[in-house]
Structure 1
Amino acid sequence: MKKALLAFTFILIAFNSTFAQDFCSKYYPMKEGSSFTYDIYNKKDKLDGTTNYLVTNVVDQGGVTQATMQIKYSDAKGKQELDSDYKISCTGKGIKIDFISLMPRQMLDQYKDMDMEIDMTGTDIELPNNLEVGQQLAEANVVAKMNMSGIKMNIEVNTIDRKVLSKETVTTPAGTFECYVLIETIASKTMGANIQINSKTWLSEGIGMVKNETYSKKGNVNSKTVLAKFSK
């Protein structure tokens, strides 16, 4: 269960750390076939895994563009541990992500096999196009209430304290980029397991995330994600 919660939290971070396209959103992909690869390092600065993103489908309807993002995570040995997707919608002022689609398919399939009822509520995560230093960003929340033969369990994930901190230049294996620096806290809890992740993301117009770091409550770096390559 804790591993599933970690996967759920990982996708939330991934959403706030993705890419860009040239039309609807400055910081999220709406071009089918765009792909991005990120290398993830642990607190000892050793390679922990690789995440691949691919825009698999884009639909324009009623002034709204919706893209389906496929995400695959493999560990340092190349073993795939997560395969899921989520949906992003854009109206031209920015983007929203469907909170329901954030729940990993593998997690939902596992509960379905267990004949478990799941009720999800929440607030879509938003990122506007007009970012500026000092800007406060809207918070988000996802709650999954589960019931299996009278046994109840809740998963709650809150994305809070979202803010545009500064502008910086960042270099990764994919190049050098001018970035906005975004900070936020993702707090997750279920069945007595509480996870709090403080996150800092370097976001570049036309590319999206080029770097992300997560920190412990004491401010130590827990993980680092850097853009290794991209194609759009």
Structure 2
Amino acid sequence: MKFTKSTLSLLFLVFTTHFNAQNCENALLLKEGNALTYNTYNKKGKAIYQTTVTTTFLDTENDWSQATVNSTVISTSNEDSFDTTYKISCENGMMSYEMIHFFETAILSKYNALDFVFEMDGDILEFPSQLEVGQDLNGGTFTAAVEGQTKTLIKIIFEISQRKVVDNEMKTTNMGTFECKKITYNYSNQAGIKTEGTVSEWYTNDKLLLRAEKYNRKGKIIAIKELVNITKK
């Protein structure tokens, strides 16, 4: 399967709408039926998988909203796929994401069969109503286990730490050029072999992830994730 980068009309209006500090009315995933599509590329710029995140249900009460989100990741090489569901919520402008939102579920796609059982649990990562340079953000831990009929096939421990808003930057992708907050964090991934490194993320004013870059512990880039399409209902 070949994935192409795409654009969407009126994106300038979407991205330049500033986030309301009192609520999350501009958060695209807090609208039922809205969807975001991301391509992930290897260090050579080749697309390796595509992820589509779609809001399937929205629950609201006063200044609180919670979206049920379905995430589907598809490999470009063999069309293996993995589906998962998680929650995104907002209360008085504070956005909260279940940590599986930050985990690369593509590594679980080869186990996506009826005779496997997945057990997943994780912390909540938060985005305050206003992001300021120098601001420390919370980290957390996510665990996943794939259970076969008689034994655990794989257990993964994914951790995020030292998460921080480090800069205001103008970021250019195929979607255009936008004013962003740059957030960095350290990660570790234990799945038999432990890997560590850092991630840099660029968020628009409405806390929409535009681009992420993943580096190994030596500071060499190993993957890039970019927003390539928005579907609005």
Corresponding residue for residue 188 of structure 1 = 189
Partner residue, 1:15:
none
Gaps of 5+ in 2: 1-14
SS in 2 for 1:29: helix
Taking a change above 3 Å as real, the CA distance of residues 54 and 197 of structure 1, as seen in their structure-2 partners, is: farther
Structure 1 segment 33-112 matched on structure 2, within 5 A: 33-61=33-61, 63-77=63-77, 79-99=79-99
Pair 1:150–1:55, CA change in 2 (3 A): closer
TM-score by structure 1 length? 0.74
Quote the offset at 1:83 in angstroms: 1.7
> Number of matched residues?
209
Structure 2 counterpart of 1:37, one-letter code: T
Residue 179 of structure 1 contacts residue 204 of structure 1 at CA under 8 Å; is this kept in 2?
yes
- Percentage identity across aligned positions? 27
Unaligned runs of 5+ in 1: 1-18
Query: Pairwise mapping of residues 146-225 of structure 1 onto structure 2 (< 5 A)?
Result: 155-190=156-191, 192-206=192-206, 208-225=208-225
121-130 vs 41-50, greater mean Cα deviation? 121-130
RMSD: 3.4
Whether the aligned pair in 2 keeps the contact of 1:146 and 1:154 (CA below 8 Å) is yes
More displaced 10-residue stretch of structure 1: 139-148 or 221-230: 139-148
CA distance, structure 2, for counterparts of residue 123 and residue 134 of structure 1: 23
Paired with 1:91 and 1:162, the residues of 2 have a C-alpha distance of 21
Are 2:197 and 2:218, in contact at CA under 8 Å, matched by a contact in 1?
Answer: no
Q: How far apart are the structure 1 equivalents of 2:31 and 2:179?
A: 22
* 1:34 and 1:55 in contact (8 A); partners too: yes
Distance in 2, matches of 1:39 and 1:102, equals 14
CA contact (8 A) 1:27 1:205 kept: no
SS where residue 29 of structure 2 aligns?
A: coil
